Structure 1
Amino acid sequence: MTPKISFRNVSKSFPLKGGDFLALDRVDLDIADREFVTVVGPSGCGKSTLMSMAAGLTEPGTGDILLDGAPVAGPGPDRGVIFQQYALFPWLTVRKNVEFGLKLMNLPQDERRKRAEHAIELVGLSDFADALPKTLSGGMKQRCAIARAYAVGPQVLLMDEPFGALDALTRVQLQDQLLDTWSRERRTVMFITHDVDEAVYLANRVVVMAARPGRIHRVIDVDLPYPRTEEVRLSPEFSRIRNEVWHSVYHQAPAA
């Protein structure tokens, strides 16, 4: 079966004074259709660069990035991108923010409204559809950003530390909300995080990256049942996997 997303021998360098900086070095990774994969690693390991290339926002230096076996040639509606910053239009309501991408697709107004309402319901914001972003909490703003990404019907969700700026309680609540939405819609998800607990709690697999240069260090299966619950989070098996990921992230041997 063809993977949904494939990174094939991907390397990326950035020019610096005195010479190029090798950010990613020969990365090979496959993500299956409908799989939820988290990517975790030390600061500077190239997590966000990897996701940016999958989104078509950055070109690889060498190697190939494939979506359903076809090369990624730039951004497209088949990939929804969600960043740590909400990037909502402050003068538009929740509904209008969610409809924005649909308007760019030249969909009829009735179809835009139908798809926006469905996405807003998915993230639990139906009661706030007519609210402006300034009236929303940080967690609600991020849910609006997720709804906007879902509304255009992407095959893949690319999420770059979307909960990183939130308080601990809101972060846990949004993790559960995201998994509930994913269980109903089952899009392929590549989720970047620096939080080991979050990486394990969400994923089918955790990709651990090593830094300088960025490369795949380990891929760890998370054999925990869905739906993920507080009982799962407190289970001995969760602790075992979490400790395995933690050790892989923070006790790596230096690159050769």
Structure 2
Amino acid sequence: MIPKITFRDVVRTFPVKGGTFTALDGVSLDIADEEFVTVVGPSGCGKSTLLGMAAGLDEPTGGEVLVDGAPVTGPGPERGVIFQQYALFPWLTVRRNVEFGLRLADLPAEERRTRAQRAIDLVGLTDFADALPKTLSGGMKQRCAIARAYAVDPTVLLMDEPFGALDALTRVQLQDQLLDTWSQDRRTVLFITHDVDEAVYLARRVVVMAARPGRIHKIVDVDLPYPRTEEIRLSPEFSRIRNEVWHSVYHQSPAAV
């Protein structure tokens, strides 16, 4: 079976004064259809660069990035991208924000409304469909951004620190909301985070990156059942996996960072 996302010997360098900076060096990774994978690592390890290439917002210096076996040559509707900043249009209601990508696709008005409403219901914003972003909390704004990504029916969700700007309680609530949405309407998810607990709680696999140059240091399987619950978060097995990932991120040998 062809992996949903493939990074094959990916290298990304940037010109700097006096030479080049290698952000990624020889990264290879396969992500299966409907798999939830998180990527965690020290600052400067190339996490966001990796996601940007999957999104088609950047391109590798060497190697290749594939989706469904085809090279990524630019952005595409099959890949929804969600950033840390909500990027909502402040003058549009939740419904209009969610419909935005559907308007770009020139879908009929009735289909736009139906698909947008389904996405709004999926993320629990039904009662706020006609609200403006300024009236929403940070967590609700991010749910709106997730609904906008879902509305265009992507097969892949690429999420770059989407909960990084939220307070701790809201962040945990949004993790549960995201997993609930994912369980109802499966997508392949590549999720970038700095938070080890978040990485373990969400994923089937955690990819631990090493920096300078950015590369895969370790891949940790998360053998915990879905749905994930508070009981799982507090379980000894969660702690064991969390400690393994934490040690892999923060106790890499000097040669690896």
Q: Which TM class, normalised by the smaller chain length?
A: over 0.9
Instruction: Give a deviation string over 1:137-179, Cα, whole Å, max 9, x none.
Output: 0000000000000000000000000000000000000000000
Matched, 1:17 2:17: yes
In the other structure, the counterpart of 2:100 is: 100
Matched, 1:174 2:174: yes
Matches within 5 A, 1:90-239: 90-239=90-239
**Letter aligned with residue 231 of structure 1:** E
Matched, 1:56 2:62: no
In the other structure, the counterpart of 1:70 is: 70
Runs of 5+ in structure 1 lacking a partner? none
**TM-score normalised to structure 2 length:** 0.99
**Letter aligned with residue 66 of structure 1:** L
The question of whether the paired residues in 2 share the 8 Å contact of 1:37 and 1:190 is answered with yes
Q: Count how many residue pairs are aligned between Structure 1 and Structure 2.
A: 256
Instruction: Write the distance in 2 (CA, Å) between the matches of 1:187 and 1:232.
Output: 23
Secondary structure of the residue aligned to 2:206 is strand
Residue 186 of structure 1, CA deviation = 0.8
Question: Over the residues paired in the alignment, what is the CA RMSD in angstroms?
Answer: 0.6
Instruction: Write the distance in 2 (CA, Å) between the matches of 1:132 and 1:19.
Output: 48
The question of whether the paired residues in 2 share the 8 Å contact of 1:133 and 1:141 is answered with yes
Instruction: Give a deviation string over 1:100-147, Cα, whole Å, max 9, x none.
Output: 000000100000000000000000000000000000000000000000
In the other structure, the counterpart of 2:6 is: 6
Q: Percent identity?
A: 83
Secondary structure of the residue aligned to 1:186 is coil
Runs of 4+ in 1 over 3 A off after TM superposition: none
The question of whether the paired residues in 2 share the 8 Å contact of 1:212 and 1:255 is answered with no
Secondary structure of the residue aligned to 1:25 is strand
Runs of 5+ in structure 2 lacking a partner? none
**Letter aligned with residue 54 of structure 2:** A
